[in-house]
Amino acid sequence: MRFIDEYRDPQLAAALVDTILRRTRRSWTIMEVCGGQTHCILEHGLDALLEERVTLLHGPGCPVCVTPLETLDRALALVERGAVLCSFGDMLRVPGSRGDLLGARARGGEVRVVYSPFDAVRLAAERPARPVVFLAVGFETTAPAVAAATRWAHARRLENFFLLASHVRVPPALEAIAAAPESRVEAFLSAGHVCTVMGTGEYEPIARRHHLPIVATGFEPVDLLEGIAMAVAQLESGAARVEIQYRRAVRPGGNPAARALVEEVFEVVDRPWRGIGVVPRGGLALRDRYAAFDALRAFPGLASDVAREPAECRAGDVLRGALRPPACPEFGRTCTPEHPLGAPMVSSEGACAAYYHHRAAGGPT
Amino acid sequence: MCLAVPGRVCELYQEAGLRVAAVEFGGVRRRVCIETLPGVAAGSWVLVHAGVALQELDARAAEESLRLLAEAARSGGGS
């Protein structure tokens, strides 16, 4: 496929590995904050190719994984209360404190996997007698689709379409990680598609304040290696700038029309991230003008549920880059993709799942 | 979850007031919201995520970066 296959060229990748290894005079620690990148790194063994020169830490790059348990519990409660729950497929097997959405469907609840929030709006228009709730989880990448779908439902005067909105914003989480006293991160690869929408302006103060290079990077092996090479070149020269590797898709100002849509429908709020805690300005909530679409208002009583994380799951440490998944005592033993203790093992972008699927040592023994 | 796929815009139309396009991905056509790209036209390459076009792909930037990488690989220099 054009714009993808060229960035899987083994010769370009090998040359970049060579460049990185030759240019590093000491070992550097770089964190990527995107589950798609984490999976690419492990699938192609990029971490092993750069071993001893570059340590790659995997940050909280999986929106499914950072979604608080309460959100999932609320989704389950909505199904029990007769709503048609529409979700991206990633969320279906994530364990809540009382089971998962797949189980709710098996018990007769109506849980639909949709490709886009627009499909949920179409469903609501076709079935005006049933409340249809879209479980809106995701980074800034997903927010324009949800904003456009919500505005569409508003324009069509649909009264049975709702959002269970748990959108999060990446830059405040990078700030929280960089500011933590125990942080080992020396540079960030920021998630390419988040920057496609939002641009790179929000990263400038983080790069300055913490003297960290930040490189907006794509998702294919050549993209990641070039992003790492750019970060290493900055680290070796003592620079700390925001740069764009993923130039075919990222402009410094992002996509202004997409940003305007998000701005119209959502406002910035403080939001708990699983594993990190409450991140100031770390989430998006519906503006008052669109409050009629908020499932928490339409179904009173959902908000009071409080969920406790399972004690044996160390997803929080994994999400902060403090624990490598294979070092978790439960990894591959009591916690597998078939029987996950936490979201990072079951989400298609989770770091635990990446190690489990791509590393022989992580597989069943 | 942030996966986005490049596709080519075939035709533009409206669906109940929403600006959409038929976008082709390796032979498969899908309906994509283009409220996010006011200037997009048939023939453009766009990056699509969750049913919405996130951005028009910059073919010139792509070619230039690949050319630079290939030159660096040949000269043994790297970027």
Q: What angle do CA A321, A324, A330 make, to 5 degrees?
A: 125
Kindly state the tokens that stand for A99.
């089971």
Calpha distance A33→A239 (Å, rounded): 21
Q: How confident is the model at residue A7 (pLDDT cuts 50, 70, 90)?
A: very high
- CA–CA gap between residue A193 and residue B40 (Å, rounded): 19
Tally of domains within chain A: 1
- B29: exposed, middle or buried (C-beta count within 10 Å: 0-12, 13-18, 19+)? middle
Q: Tell whether the model's pLDDT for residue B26 goes beyond 70.
A: yes
Nearest chain A CA: its distance from B57 CA (Å) = 5
- Determine the residue of chain A that is closest to B49 in CA distance: A142
Determine the Cα–Cα distance for residues A326 and A332; give it in Å rounded to an integer. Answer: 8
CATH number for A159: 3.40.50.11740
Q: Nearest CA of chain A to the CA of B20: how many Å? A: 11
DSSP A183-231: ---SEEEEEHHHHHHH-SGGGHHHHHHHT--EEEE-SSHHHHHHHHHHH
Rounded CA-CA distance A264/A270 in Å is: 18
Q: Which of B17, B33, B69 sits opposite A155 (nearest CB)?
A: B17
Distance from CA of B24 to the nearest CA of A (A): 11
CA atoms within 13 A on the CB side of A117: 26
**Parent domain of A285:** 69-169+254-304
- Tell me whether residue A233 is in a domain: no
* Token pair for A316: 């929080």
Would you state the pLDDT for residue A363? Answer: 42
Structural domain contains residue A126: yes
In terms of C-beta density within 10 A (0-12 exposed, 13-18 middle, 19 or more buried), how is residue A61 classed?
buried
CB environment A185-202: b (16+ within 10 A), e (fewer): bbbbbbbbbbbbbbbbeb
B68 close contact with A: CB closer than 8 A: no
Between chains, do A16 and B78 touch, taking CB under 8 Å as contact?
yes
Q: Find tokens 């090998």 and name the residue.
A: A14
Interface test with B, best of A18, A141, A220, A234 (most B CBs within 10 A): A141
Band of the pLDDT at A365, cuts 50, 70, 90? Answer: very low
A319's tokens: 């999400």
Question: In sequence order, what are the residues at sequence separation of 6 or more whose Cβ sits closer than 8 angstroms to the Cβ of residue A254?
Answer: A195, A196, A197, A198, A199, A200
**A151: which chain B residues are within 8 Å (Cβ-Cβ)?**
35
Chain segment A198-237, per-residue pLDDT in tens = 999 999 999 999 999 999 999 999 999 999 999 999 999 9
Distance CA A182, CA A322 (A): 9
User: What's the confidence (pLDDT) of residue A362?
Assistant: 45
Task: Enter the ipTM.
Answer: 0.93
Give me the pLDDT at residue A361, please. 52
- Summarize pLDDT for A236-294 with one digit per residue, the tens: 999 999 999 999 999 999 999 999 999 999 999 999 998 788 999 999 999 999 999 99
Q: A68: which 2 tokens?
A: 């608080």
CB A261 within 8 A of CB A233: no
Inside any domain, residue A319 = no
CA-based nearest residue to A139, from A186, A100, A190: A190
pLDDT tens per residue across span B57-76 = 999 999 999 999 999 888 87
* CATH 2.30.30.140 assigned to B5-75: yes
Q: Are B2 and A141 in contact (CB < 8 Å)?
A: yes
Number of other residues whose CB lies within 10 A of the CB of residue A212 = 24
**Distance from chain centroid for Cα A140:** 9
Q: Flag whether A92 is in a domain.
A: yes
Strand order in the sheet with A132-138: A111-113, A84-87, A132-138, A161-168, A277-286, A266-273
Domain ranges of chain B: 5-75
Residues in chain B within 8 Å Cβ distance of A264: none
Query: How far A211 CA lies from chain B's nearest CA (Å)?
Result: 22
